Amino acid sequence: MKNRLTNIKVIIKLYILVLSIFTIFRAIFFIANTNHIAKIDPDGKLINILKAFFMGLRFDIVVSGQILFLPFIILSVMFVINRYSKVAHKIIYLYTLILFIIAFTISAVDVPFFMNFFERFNISAFQWIDSPGFMFKMIIGEPLYWFMFIPYVIIIFLFNKFLRRILLKSNNTTDNKFSNITVRTIISLAFAFVMFLGIRGRLESKSPIRIGTAYFCNNAFLNMSGLNPTFTFIKSALDKGKSRYAEINIMSEEEAINFVKDNLKIDNNKNLKSPISRVITPDSISENKPNIVLIIMESMSCGKMGIYGNNDNLTPFLDSLSNHSYTFDNIYSAGIHTFNGVYGTLMSYPSLFLQHPMKGTKIKKYNGIASNLKENGYSTVYFTTHDGQFDNIEGFLYANDFEKVISEADYPSDRVVSTLGVPDDYLFEYSIPVLNNLAQKKKPFFATLMTASDHGPYTIPEYYTPTRDMSKKKQIVEYADWSLRKMINMAKKEDWFDNTLFVFIADHGHPIDPKYKISLNYHHIPMMFYSPKIIKSPERIQNIGGQIDLFPTLMGIINIPYVNNTLGVDLLKHNREYMYMCSDNKFGVINNEYFLVVEKDNRGLYKYRDGDLKNYATENRDLVDKMEKYGKANMQAAQYIIKNDLQR
């Protein structure tokens, strides 16, 4: 064989070999899980299975590329300098053999692992590493592990045979078609770039491939079947060492749970799995189930709104809406990131310092808004302006009963104006026909729309003219408010408007004029429930609360019974004494007079309504202890529930 593109030819052959083997393991995986296949919706069943295999191929390419990249570099060096090394080929052979045997072993073990735990193979498989004898006996005594032994041995034997033929038995020479070293270098670099794209898994700039990329429908088995178990294992191992995934341990779990149960007045829920679950039955159950349109506004701090003291007239529409809504004036976001806001709003769980609840190897299912409304006959849809893989939002939402996630890939390419995708008003414009189609199904719908224009880089559409000359940061707030007005005006023309409850909340605020180590304007956000036909007596409500209270409050307004397994409360029926929030490595607790900031060993207690910078912690030690315990207990209770998978 002449040494014409030998480096590329060898790698392509290796790709074909290992991808074929990964596909065989995926086929075995499907055969072993026929019980789950039988439960797939017959409508589009074959297409969805093929989608799962295609998604699996993408993840297989990622794993294969990560292993084959180093061999390609070594082969390319030999190709560029026009030399053949038998020793180098033997090293590549051993390296490739060992790493792929490990990967194929994981694929084999993954089959019985999934059948036992309904999870792809991950670092939790080694939870018994301290008891190897017990683990060995368990493996030997489990028939499911023996199920994979014979095909595994055959596959490894054949893999080694073909690998030797590709890397060791070829008659390589240095007779090179490309005599110019520059040409050989450019060709090698070009193919290396192609491999890099395969390793990254996606062309979109905002996010590489992640666990959530595999989630393309509402069937959990199909979503997980597209994953490569080596990928999930490596990802779980890497996640385990990251501080953002570290479990918090700030007080006794038992003490935290008891505190929360007392605070929520949970007397007896022995028939429910979670210690904080409570059955909520309204005084009168409404026969009418209204549509719900939830708009999560990017960075809409109360500090930007006229009704809360801003004199720039940036939000005339939202300000006017407050006179026709249930308007909650003292609401605080769970955290300072968009993922905190989406998670806190939809699932009613608090932020836990640096933890990212939507990422990680295992995507957890919660008993949130979409799940409860879907159980009550609602269609569910989520709209985002940009890449659906950012923050793993698409995968997380599909796992939590959103039937459709509409993202940048769904919009016309000429309407995508920045890395944040389409502008707010086009998001709303695009949503109307989608909501019309849902309304035609003669069942209520729940739609969540996450805006993004009020986030840098700020892009104001050319067709929008600001009312006056001011900074771009202020103009974009005015544009965002104008877009909200456009949404409501479009919706008013539709038949479903009168039976629709519109809910407005922000993912978080903006650090306007921060006075304390936690910016209150970053957390103080609006929350409004608007529906001229449903809300007969609009009201400005002063109860202190949080983003996590939206779900129970919403369910109370629409009078639907449900099980509340969250840290949220119905603010129309429950008065919170305090509200708590996280700002990455700090947390705060607030009441109607004081704001407590807790950072490591430092405590700051401030009279925030006056902007008072004096620290009152020393002279109010009892209050500091009480407020701090409230925040810690709620966060630790949330951690306990999530850690033990009781949040469903």
Same domain, yes or no: 559 and 525: yes
Helix-, strand-, coil-residue percentages of the chain, each rounded to 5: 50, 15, 35
In whole angstroms, give the CA distance from residue 31 to residue 633. Answer: 46
In whole angstroms, give the CA distance from residue 324 to residue 538. Answer: 5
pLDDT in tens, 242-269: 655 678 999 999 999 999 999 999 876 6
pLDDT at 388: 87
Same domain, yes or no: 221 and 278: no
Exposed / middle / buried, residue 465 (Cβ in 10 Å: 0-12, 13-18, 19+): exposed
Tokens of 227: 């994953």
Backbone angles phi, psi at 219, to 5 degrees: -90, 115
> For residue 523, which of 580, 605, 596, 460 has the smallest C-alpha distance?
580
DSSP codes of every residue in 540-565: EEEEEEEGGGHHHHHHHHHT--EEE-
- Residue 251 in any domain: the answer is no
| Secondary structure, 3-state, 569-604 | CCCCCCCCCCEEEEECCEEEEECCCEEEEEECCEEE
In whole angstroms, give the CA distance from residue 450 to residue 506. Answer: 9
- Residue 246 in any domain: the answer is no
Same domain, yes or no: 187 and 267: no
In whole angstroms, give the CA distance from residue 524 to residue 459. Answer: 25
Same domain, yes or no: 34 and 136: yes
pLDDT at 1: 39
Tokens of 632: 């810690």
**Parallel, antiparallel or unpaired: strands 594-599 and 602-607:** antiparallel
- Residue 248 in any domain: the answer is no
> For residue 59, which of 189, 230, 261, 303 has the smallest C-alpha distance?
230
* Listed residues 215, 241, 267: the one ending a domain: 241
Contacts of 293 (CB under 8 A, 6+ apart): 435, 447, 449, 491, 500, 501, 502, 503
A 10 A CB-CB count for 149 gives 10
Same domain, yes or no: 373 and 274: yes
* Listed residues 187, 211, 241: the one ending a domain: 241
pLDDT at 112: 83
pLDDT at 439: 96
Same domain, yes or no: 191 and 282: no
A 10 A CB-CB count for 100 gives 25
- Residue 146 in any domain: the answer is yes
Residues of the chain with pLDDT under 50: 1-3, 128, 130-131, 134-135, 138, 174-175
DSSP codes of every residue in 463-494: T---SS---HHHHHHHHHHHHHHHHHHHHHTS
Quote the radius of gyration of the chain (alpha carbons, Å).
28
Domain count, the chain: 2
Query: Is the peptide bond preceding residue 532 cis, with omega within 30 degrees of 0?
Result: no
- Residue 564 in any domain: the answer is yes
Same domain, yes or no: 200 and 303: no
- Residue 115 in any domain: the answer is yes
In whole angstroms, give the CA distance from residue 102 to residue 520. Answer: 51
Which CATH number covers residue 476? Answer: 3.40.720.10
Same domain, yes or no: 294 and 408: yes
pLDDT at 491: 98
Tokens of 358: 């939507």
SS3 131: coil
- Residue 648 in any domain: the answer is no
pLDDT at 206: 75
In whole angstroms, give the CA distance from residue 9 to residue 441. Answer: 54
In whole angstroms, give the CA distance from residue 231 to residue 122. Answer: 9
Residues in the chain: 648
DSSP conformational letter for 362? S
pLDDT at 286: 77
| Secondary structure, 3-state, 155-176 | HHHHHHHHHHHHHCCCCCCCCC
Same domain, yes or no: 235 and 280: no
Same domain, yes or no: 474 and 566: yes
SS3 437: helix
- Residue 247 in any domain: the answer is no
The answer to whether 339 and 298 have CB atoms below 8 angstroms apart is: no
In whole angstroms, give the CA distance from residue 320 to residue 467. Answer: 17
Same domain, yes or no: 159 and 18: yes
* Alpha-carbon distance values, 237 to 102, 124, 226, 365, 567 (Å): 15, 9, 19, 21, 30
CA dihedral 531, 533, 538, 544 (to 10 degrees): -50
Same domain, yes or no: 206 and 268: no
* Full residue range of the structural domain in which residue 24 is found: 6-241
SS3 519: coil
Residue that has been written with the tokens 């840098």 in this structure: 456
Own/partner pairs for 597-606, CB < 8 Å, 24+ apart?
597/516, 597/517, 597/518, 598/628, 598/631, 599/517, 603/628, 604/516, 604/517, 606/515, 606/516
